[in-house]
Structure 1
Amino acid sequence: MNLRKLILLVVIAALIASFFIFDLGQYLNLTNLKTQQEAFSEQVSANPWLIGGAYFFIYVLVTALSLPGAALMTLLGGALFGLFGGTLLVSFASTLGATLAMLISRFMLRDWVQAKFSKRLMGINQGVEREGASYLFALRLVPVFPFVLINLAMGLTKLPVRTFWWVSQLGMLPGTLVYVNAGRELGQLNSLGGILSPSLIGAFLLLGLLPMLSRKTLEWFKTRKVYSGWKKPKRFDRNLVVIGAGSGGLVSAYIAAAVKANVTLIEKHKMGGDCLNTGCVPSKALIRSAKFAHELKKAENLGFKSVAGEVDFAAVMQRIQHVVSTIEPHDSIDRYTKLGVEVIEGDARITSPWTVEVNGKTLSTRSIIVATGARPLIPKIEGIELITPLTSDNIWALREQPKRLLVLGGGPIGCELAQAFQRLGSAVTQVEMVERLLIREDVDASDLVMTSLRADGVDLRLQHKAIRFEVIEGNQQLICLNLADNSEVKISFDQVLLALGRVANVKGFGAEELALEVRGNGTLSTNEYLATRFPNIFAVGDVTGPYQFTHTSAHQAWYAAVNGLFGSFKQFKVDYRVIPWATFTDPEVARVGLNEQEAKSHDIAYEVTCFGIDDLDRAIADGAAYGYVKVMTEPGKDRILGATIVGQHAGDLITEYVAAMKHGYGMNKILGTIHIYPTLAEANKYAAGEWKRAHAPIGALRWLSKFHQWRLGGTKHIESGLKTDEKTS
């Protein structure tokens, strides 16, 4: 700490200490102010400028030092100087004091805070830089957080002082008026009977309603600004129009129909979206066939001889289509029409905040939900135009099995399909630029998956960067850079699968014309209510993120539908606290909440409990004795911060921890729950047992040991027990 900061710290500490040592707070309570009011008023009449100046100085000092009493000082200002004079003094004194408090915070702490928490504050700094004025204005206008905290917090950001000053001056004015008016009314109170006067009751009623009135006023101004230039229809044909019939769109429409709203669902391609047609359903059907092919190779381990089978790849792919067609009725036009949803096949385009055009017809609606999903990322790799790449969209059209399949990408899709095709008989090479697969999971989880893929025969090329594609005399090959030694590597292939992530579909439906904001990662920007910049246009699913899972799309759909239909009365913030997911490789990797690498990167304290599934009776009987259950808990407590399960059926087993985190119970309750024997689910109970063993009350157990030895009869047993305890220690 430099000398200037040290001197300022000493001065501030001395002033604050004086305030409490000399009990100056006794003069800033309502009883004392009311008792001294007459004397104060006489002094104001005799020396208005002197007393006004002294009041102004004291108010600035109290606010700058973040001392208690600013609210009572404001009431006193109304009582002594009236509505106009009190408002004038308080408005400028509070702004000056707040600005000084902000500057003190900035001078003393900002550099240290920004250096220590630079990564965490990056988003906040960008937000303040982009819309700091409007954010501060909202905090000032709606006094949910104490102004003292706002002053200090803003000092830690890069908000310009000039902006802080004028926004605070304007934002605190309504609250100042209400408080000064209340003080003026209190100042006119001469007897207890005056408490029931309409004017005083009205002043305090206004004081109580200030947060709500301020919030509604702010919302009105924001709404008026965002809808400026758009003509709102006098009446509407529909309550809700949903664009896209994937998971998010289907659930949104279903909820709207269930509450008898007039809802229209528009889909330009296939009902069910990616999950049914090109994602979850076909990939899991493929994995099932691949698992059976793998089981055949393990027949001898299960007591069979001469068991063999030949993969009919075309039949496998045909079975996948049969599975899709069997599930299709669940998401069909016929079903949703019967539920009360108007379903239109066509290209939707939003033409105004309240109108959607489809098939040449304009539909008017109170709210719109965008559920346009995402598509596979096609990277800009030199020579990619020379080949016809496969993606998770078009791979299901294959009927001839690729002998040599190259998979680019080490995420969940790449790992699942690489393992499945390898087990079905393709020679798979998987290329990943970083040092391991499934980079979002803990190292031990990705290690188990990589071991399994290698055991199946997948050729893993980690730390390999794709440079260009070449076709030489009909031979397709990828040129890679081996990042470990900077050497050039050539990989030949018959088909290449691109599994490098997905890109949100934010174009082609009117988002550009309405200037809907797109985030840096390409997703449609929404707030905590899933609304875009227009309060009546919402987005759910892959198009907005932050999670690109079918179940999170359905989860978001409830919030968007309810907010779209009833948001004028009550809005609900989307809850992302407990989001599970799974990668369906063998072994499966399932997770909810934090894992170790996330906890470490965010400096979150945790304890870890691990149970190896290789020690589980049912897993041994099934020939699936591999993997683990890892649970993250709050230090010293059984509250679950997150769980990772690696092993067979991990995606099913994780549900117990999802429920525990959602409903607020911990490891003790899981341990106290009966689990059927023998099942894989017992792994969760044994993990809870490991946690309990690690947190056993050692001291109490020692006394219990002595108690039981005493009951065996006499001091000899106790002395023997003490010696045993000593040896154990």
Structure 2
Amino acid sequence: MTGPTDMGSTPHHPARRPVLREGVLHADLCIIGAGSGGLSVAAGAAQMGAAVVLVEKHRMGGDCLNTGCVPSKALLAAAHAAQAVRDGDVFGVVAPVSVIDFARVHAHVQGVIGAIAPHDSVERFEGLGATVIQAAARFTGPAEVEAGGQRIRARRFVVATGSRAALPPVSGLTDTPYLTNETVFDLTTRPEHLIVLGGGPIGIEMAQAFRRLGAAVTLLERAAILPKDEPEAVAVVRGALLRAGIDLREQAAVGAVRPVADGVEVELGDGARIEGTHLLVAAGRAPNIADLGLAEAGIATTPRGITVDAGLRTTNRSVYAIGDVAGGPQFTHIAGYHAGIVIRNALFGLPAKVDYAALPWVTYADPELAHAGLTEAEALKAGHVVSTLTQPLSGNDRAQAERATEGLIKVVLGRGGRILGATIVAPHAGEMIGMWGLAIHQRLKIGAVAASIAPYPTISEISKRAAGGFYTPRLFGARTRRFVGLIQRFLP
């Protein structure tokens, strides 16, 4: 993936490589898992002069490249293209969607994976100087790993094995055909009726994408969708799903599922039954910690994952854990962030620690919902003196020009106008949230954003307009008017 793992080209100087002595491979760093986090550590460490062993039992690139971020965004792009054709009539461009060739959609998704795969390949990482072993790894003690019959000893180890789709405790699920993110992108024919279990980001993104590609979709969520986001922003996404024709059912407990002649039947807690052709389980993630020999290495775990400290060290001081398996926020960009922390700790001995104060995330629905920092509820719970600024997207000229006015920005401020958090729900909100993450990380006050210059006409102007709202009561109040009137008497 050309993001977290893009640490530069192959070094000009020969890399230090692991050394085989008496049947044991010796290295500075042994990384288990070649997903986003593991690849980032391996690329950075190898190019900085460390002798690196990288172990991966499945596919290079891990979940993000093969079954997560990359294929899902490729599918969303296809769905967006179909919807753009449908929406053309509001601009006077009439071209109704008559055919969606789902086999070609599948080919598009696989083509995107194929285009990125060389960047994550064995060949690239061996070219960087790492020794890549394609086998399952297991700790045989606190300072040794075995993989594919090869014993490996290293000064430091990094566990970056990621996560997998969690299966909810629903009666009949193990006896019923179902899809997860690991299999849904293998479909070459469109589901007639897709039932989605789970109203988190993955469930919502897939529900909207398949609906736009012509499938009937029912989305079931046992509580409320997107519970970690600002309610005002979630309401916009909920409205978009309903307008798309998705049968959205919140507060819907699933009692049982079972196979039927034409697919699958879901029985709800209230006795209602829904039949569909396919079932997609998107009900959270579970860490990949089985069969790693963690106990033999003295590494503590919980059901959430491997126990780590603020520097991502495990209870074995020579072993780090990063990404989803570390039990924290489960985002690809967090795995990349963790990689930087480990490189500073393991290679340079610097006391780097994780800081999630400015953590960003995006739900790639249409419109996108992006967030950084604290929500209003979190800020109040943390004891801050909170004020908020909101601005509807309908007041943005670019949004009006593109007929995309459903959305808003909400900024959470602490004492003195310090920026604590921000949420944007708008087209390409994910491209705009980075500025707010930087502002939070740098502990800026709202005046820094209000004083910035935003190009016109762009949707990003909504950020500056919201920031300006902090000063509106004082700037246009009675005291200002009296002061301006007084000054005018004395100006030449």
Q: Please give the TM-score of this superposition, normalised by the length of structure 2.
A: 0.92
Q: Judge conservation of contact 2:31–2:54 (CA < 8 Å) in 1.
A: yes
Partner residue of 2:12? Answer: none
Distance change >3 Å, CA 634–CA 444, structure 1 → 2: same
Q: 1:562, CA displacement in angstroms?
A: 2.5
Equivalent residue for 2:257, pick from 463, 469, 480: 469
Partner residue of 1:511? Answer: 294
Q: Judge conservation of contact 2:82–2:97 (CA < 8 Å) in 1.
A: no
Secondary structure, counterpart of 1:261 in structure 2? coil
Partner residue of 1:393? Answer: 182
* Paired AA for residue 426 in structure 1: A
| Alignment map for 1:156-195 (pairs within 5 Å) | none
- In 2, the alpha carbon distance for the partners of 1:258 and 1:630 equals 41
Distance change >3 Å, CA 459–CA 299, structure 1 → 2: same
- In 2, the alpha carbon distance for the partners of 1:650 and 1:476 equals 36
Distance change >3 Å, CA 377–CA 706, structure 1 → 2: same
Distance change >3 Å, CA 447–CA 705, structure 1 → 2: same
The answer to whether the aligner puts 1:566 opposite 2:355 as a matched pair is no
* Paired AA for residue 608 in structure 1: T
Secondary structure, counterpart of 2:471 in structure 1? helix
Equivalent residue for 2:395, pick from 611, 615, 630: 615
* Paired AA for residue 498 in structure 1: V
- In 1, the alpha carbon distance for the partners of 2:264 and 2:481 equals 71
* Paired AA for residue 362 in structure 1: R
Equivalent residue for 1:373, pick from 134, 143, 162: 162
**After the TM superposition, which of the residue ranges 487-496 and 383-392 deviates more from structure 2?**
383-392
- In 1, the alpha carbon distance for the partners of 2:89 and 2:344 equals 56
Render the CA deviation track for 1:477-533: whole Å, top value 9, x for unaligned: 11101xxxxx311010110000000000111121132242112x4211001111111
Partner residue of 1:414? Answer: 203
Q: 1:236, CA displacement in angstroms?
A: 7.9
Structure 1 runs not aligned, ≥5 long: 1-232, 482-486, 714-729
Secondary structure, counterpart of 2:253 in structure 1? strand
Render the CA deviation track for 1:148-204: whole Å, top value 9, x for unaligned: xxxxxxxxxxxxxxxxxxxxxxxxxxxxxxxxxxxxxxxxxxxxxxxxxxxxxxxxx
Secondary structure, counterpart of 1:677 in structure 2? coil
Partner residue of 2:19? Answer: none
| Alignment map for 1:436-585 (pairs within 5 Å) | 436-473=224-261, 476-481=264-269, 487-519=270-302, 521-567=303-349, 570-585=350-365
The answer to whether the aligner puts 1:429 opposite 2:208 as a matched pair is no
Q: 1:700, CA displacement in angstroms?
A: 5.5
Secondary structure, counterpart of 2:352 in structure 1? coil
Secondary structure, counterpart of 2:299 in structure 1? coil
Q: 1:253, CA displacement in angstroms?
A: 0.9
Q: 1:706, CA displacement in angstroms?
A: 2.7
Q: Please give the TM-score of this superposition, normalised by the length of structure 1.
A: 0.62
Q: Percent identity, aligned pairs only?
A: 37
Partner residue of 1:660? Answer: 439
Q: 1:390, CA displacement in angstroms?
A: 0.2
* Paired AA for residue 386 in structure 1: D
Partner residue of 1:587? Answer: 367
Partner residue of 1:598? Answer: 378
- In 2, the alpha carbon distance for the partners of 1:381 and 1:661 equals 41
Q: 1:475, CA displacement in angstroms?
A: 5.4
Q: Judge conservation of contact 2:262–2:277 (CA < 8 Å) in 1.
A: no
Partner residue of 1:624? Answer: 404
Secondary structure, counterpart of 1:256 in structure 2? helix
Render the CA deviation track for 1:663-692: whole Å, top value 9, x for unaligned: 232221212222111111111111111122
Q: Judge conservation of contact 2:142–2:298 (CA < 8 Å) in 1.
A: no
Partner residue of 1:342? Answer: 131
Q: How many residues align?
A: 470
Distance change >3 Å, CA 647–CA 565, structure 1 → 2: same
Equivalent residue for 1:253, pick from 31, 34, 42: 42
- In 1, the alpha carbon distance for the partners of 2:69 and 2:421 equals 24
Q: Judge conservation of contact 2:388–2:412 (CA < 8 Å) in 1.
A: yes
Q: Judge conservation of contact 1:296–1:309 (CA < 8 Å) in 2.
A: no
| Alignment map for 1:713-724 (pairs within 5 Å) | none
Q: 1:421, CA displacement in angstroms?
A: 0.4
Partner residue of 1:686? Answer: 465
Secondary structure, counterpart of 1:618 in structure 2? helix
- In 2, the alpha carbon distance for the partners of 1:335 and 1:506 equals 27
Secondary structure, counterpart of 2:78 in structure 1? helix
Distance change >3 Å, CA 236–CA 536, structure 1 → 2: farther
Task: Answer with 1 or 2: which has the greater Rg.
Answer: 1
Distance change >3 Å, CA 578–CA 475, structure 1 → 2: closer
Q: Judge conservation of contact 1:368–1:564 (CA < 8 Å) in 2.
A: no
Secondary structure, counterpart of 2:272 in structure 1? strand
Q: 1:289, CA displacement in angstroms?
A: 0.7
The answer to whether the aligner puts 1:308 opposite 2:90 as a matched pair is no
- In 1, the alpha carbon distance for the partners of 2:263 and 2:210 equals 21
- In 2, the alpha carbon distance for the partners of 1:473 and 1:706 equals 80
Q: Judge conservation of contact 1:293–1:309 (CA < 8 Å) in 2.
A: no
- In 2, the alpha carbon distance for the partners of 1:411 and 1:478 equals 19
- In 2, the alpha carbon distance for the partners of 1:426 and 1:246 equals 31
- In 2, the alpha carbon distance for the partners of 1:358 and 1:248 equals 19
**After the TM superposition, which of the residue ranges 466-475 and 603-612 deviates more from structure 2?**
466-475
| Alignment map for 1:18-417 (pairs within 5 Å) | 237-417=26-206
- In 1, the alpha carbon distance for the partners of 2:76 and 2:386 equals 35
Higher relative contact order (CA 8 A, sep 6+): 2
Distance change >3 Å, CA 510–CA 618, structure 1 → 2: same
Equivalent residue for 2:424, pick from 645, 655, 662: 645
Structure 2 runs not aligned, ≥5 long: 1-21
Q: Judge conservation of contact 1:367–1:565 (CA < 8 Å) in 2.
A: no
- In 2, the alpha carbon distance for the partners of 1:362 and 1:305 equals 64
* Paired AA for residue 266 in structure 1: V
Q: 1:575, CA displacement in angstroms?
A: 2.3
* Paired AA for residue 364 in structure 1: R
Render the CA deviation track for 1:417-450: whole Å, top value 9, x for unaligned: 001001111100011111x211111211111111
Render the CA deviation track for 1:21-48: whole Å, top value 9, x for unaligned: xxxxxxxxxxxxxxxxxxxxxxxxxxxx
- In 2, the alpha carbon distance for the partners of 1:385 and 1:612 equals 45
Secondary structure, counterpart of 2:156 in structure 1? strand
- In 1, the alpha carbon distance for the partners of 2:307 and 2:344 equals 19
Secondary structure, counterpart of 1:469 in structure 2? strand
